[in-house]
Amino acid sequence: MNLLIVVALAAITYVSRAAAVLFLPPPPPRLQVLLERIPAPVFAGLATLSLITPNGSLADTPTLGAALGGLVMTPLRSLPICLAGGLVGYAVASFFS
Amino acid sequence: MQPSGPKALLHTLSAAAPPAGAIFVFGTIYGATSKGLLGTPLTLVSSALIFSGALQFALLGLLSAGAAMPAILITGATLNLRHLVLGAVIRPRLSRARLRRALLSWFLIDESFGLGIAAGEDAERALLVSGSMFYVSWLAGTGLGILGAGLGGLQGVANAVFPVLFVGLAAMTSTRMHHAGRALASALLTAALVILAPGIAGLAPLLAAIVVALPGRQE
């Protein structure tokens, strides 16, 4: 039974990943404009989601410090620098918490 | 300007390393937790075939709660809905060859999608390289978790990697001022959705992103 569930979930997951990449036709220009606007808001939403625990409270202080450290570095628009900022934020927040 | 050639590869490897480390840690936690519920072989099979931390942890929760198969499959389909949008966004940046796209779609998870989009014209390689790293990390972590490796102490650091990664990716993909404004609006809307409707928390970032992407002129 569990094997069947795992295989079914694997199939659902792969089909969901492949559906748009493999089967759907290229989007029309108007939809393409909309799709181009989606990545930054999706990532901002995912960042927010990862700062809220499943019971609705905020993440722990070091995690919030890491996010703040990364956020401070966003004007530089460099992922490694944001990650370095996050590391510093995590260390500082851990020290004070 | 995006780097190209070996420099681009190095750039992808260095950007993918921290999330790969975090995925490895979560893999050990999944392996250790799942072993008692699914057994060793099925735990390995689940990580090898599903390759989705969120869905696999949800599976454990549902099985522990005694959920029936239809409920588990509906949860899986709901959690995977976001792939349709992520796939549609990254599709124009990928090769036209069907077999190649079939392979690349295996590696389409939130983190590899982000690195692919941030890589601009080098999206395909970034998706393949980072996705492979994340897949191997997830499998290796699961295996070590089954063997009893205790990396639970690193969970705090691993937790902190993801918000920073997504903040950085939001910054990198905000190529225009209105992108940053929409990102901020999406963050606020996601928070409101998660608080007001926790049942759809997993879909909140996608719903918020679609809502904030709608207004405005065609550029």
The interface predicted TM-score (ipTM) is 0.87
Q: Which residues of A touch B198 (CB under 8 A)?
A: 54, 56
Closest CA to B111 of B130, B92, B135: B130
CA-to-CA distance for B22 and A43, rounded, in angstroms?
17
Answer for the pair B191, A48: CB distance below 8 angstroms, yes or no. yes
Answer for the pair A42, B173: CB distance below 8 angstroms, yes or no. no
Look at chain B and count its residues: 219
**Chain A residues 19-78 within an 8 A CB cutoff of chain B:** 19-22, 24, 26-27, 30, 32-52, 54, 56, 59-60, 62-63, 66-67, 69-71, 73-78
Mean pLDDT by 10 residues, chain B (219 residues): 70 89 88 89 96 90 85 88 89 88 93 89 92 96 85 72 88 85 95 89 88 79
Q: Considering chain A, what is the average pLDDT of its residues?
A: 90
CA distance B205 to chain A (A): 4
Query: Which of A8-17, A30-39, B5-14, B190-199 is least confident?
Result: B5-14
Query: What are φ and ψ of residue B218, in 5° steps?
Result: -75, 125
Q: Which residues of A touch B212 (CB under 8 A)?
A: 37, 41
**Percentage of residues in chain A having pLDDT higher than 70:** 100
Are A17 and B87 an interchain contact pair (Cβ–Cβ within 8 Å)? yes
Confidence (pLDDT) at B139: 96
Are A49 and B98 an interchain contact pair (Cβ–Cβ within 8 Å)? no
Confidence (pLDDT) at B191: 94
Closest CA to B167 of A95, A62, A49, A58: A49
**Opening angle at CA B163, ends B183 and B92, nearest 5:** 55
Look at chain A and count its residues: 97
- Token pair 């460099």 in the structure block, residue: A78
- Summarised one tens digit per residue, pLDDT across range A74-86 is 988 878 788 889 9
